[in-house]
Chain A
């Protein structure tokens, strides 16, 4: 597609409910990233995929957070048993290659519109 697409744009979940957030990256982009942005703060890294491989999940705040990218394209971020502190905007980004790519291409990241999650 023309840009990174995320859905839903807004999600209200009751505490304890499971949610799934979708990211459709720019076609052909190898790298995909998830970030969490709290109100008034900069985005913070959650996890990174290179194609279908999850190479870094060090930013996931707890084991309730799980991400996948099974076919190396669309990715889903799942949050189980949501808590109020999970309320934030979840941003997805993609780039043509990773920093360690040897086949050229840019590491410039492009972001989707985000999903605003509110846990009540």
Chain B
């Protein structure tokens, strides 16, 4: 089946720093989503981005489907950005997502 790899697995930042999270996938996909899992376990939708670039405040994402990767940019990080960031891809006709192992981000004050 399709493989989803996220890097880095862990990231520690000082508040105010910028970061880039990467997601590589092993085959063509119909869709890709980025999520933030907060400390209470809730998966928060960040981007629904099968291709192209989107921005939402301090966050932006780019997916290059032909090269099978996506990037999530976090600028001016805040302590509330801490948590685990998941990339998930959808392949096939039914829509279930295949998740990477996540990037655990800790933002220090």
Contact = CB atoms under 8 A, between A and B. Distances in A.
B78 interface: no
A113 B42 contact: yes
A42 B86 contact: yes
Contacts of A114: 41-42
B31 interface: yes
Interface string B70-109: 0000000000000000101010111111111110000000
Contacts of B98: 45
Contacts of B45: 108, 110-111
Given A98-B93, A99-B92, A106-B48, A111 B99 contact: no
Nearest to B101: A42
B50 to A, nearest CB: 9
A45 B90 CA distance: 11
B24 interface: no
Contacts of B14: none
B55 interface: no
A99 B97 contact: no
Range, interface on chain A: 20 to 34
Contacts, number: 71
A42 B94 contact: no
Contacts of A62: none
B41 A116 contact: yes
Interface in A68-96: 89, 91, 93, 95
B64 interface: no
A48 B96 contact: yes
A116 B35 CA distance: 19
A91 B97 CA distance: 12
Interface string A34-50: 01000001111100101
